[in-house]
Homo-oligomer: A and B are copies of this chain.
């Protein structure tokens, strides 16, 4: 029995559907707070069938984490391409990073949870998959510094990490922190993100051409 062909989810393999369901639940209730029973229910199979595809809960956890990082990694080139030159593209790049996580907030929440639950593993995985790319950004910023376009008091590496922390944190805890903004105004998300981009920009570029030149 197969579901409707029009539904994009219908074409996913059972493995993929398990990973997707697990990601959502791990993100929402945490790893320890999620039972295999609940994941199996969400997929529409029985628990032992789930354990046939993933031999233990820990293996499933790892698969979910790998999946999120793989998606992130595969999106990075596209995101970076948008920030390759100038201030306008830079704003677009940060915005695109935000949209990547915002498109499925469970990605951000999962990463935050795993950073808390297994810092050593996440540290290793990020170093392996994401760091090479951030290295490109760091080089780009340093180039901008040598050309006088970028503030020279910027610590490029710390800057990148800080912006990433802000982006992921903003998406993951967005609902809560947004409630601190003026009651519950409609444009909370937009305001928060535009302030994020503004902060990132103000912290990076010289406001106007250096006075000496």
Contacts and interface: CB of A to CB of B under 8 A. Distances in A.
Given A127-B179, A161-B180, A116 B173 contact: yes
A116 B182 CA distance: 21
A30 B202 contact: no
Closest 3 CB pairs of A and B: A32-B33, A158-B195, A169-B169
21 contacts: A29-B32, A30-B33, A33-B33, A112-B173, A115-B176, A115-B177, A119-B176, A126-B180, A155-B191, A155-B195, A157-B181, A158-B191, A158-B192, A158-B195, A161-B177, A161-B178, A162-B192, A162-B199, A168-B169, A199-B199, A203-B203
A184 to B, nearest CB: 10
State the copy count for this chain: 2
B177 A164 contact: yes
B157 A126 contact: no
A162 B195 contact: yes
A182 B178 CA distance: 33
Contacts of A85: none
Contacts of A162: 166, 170, 192, 195-196, 199
A177 B31 CA distance: 21
A57 to B, nearest CB: 12
Interface in A181-195: 181-182, 191-192, 194-195
Contact of A169 (B166, B178, B192): B166
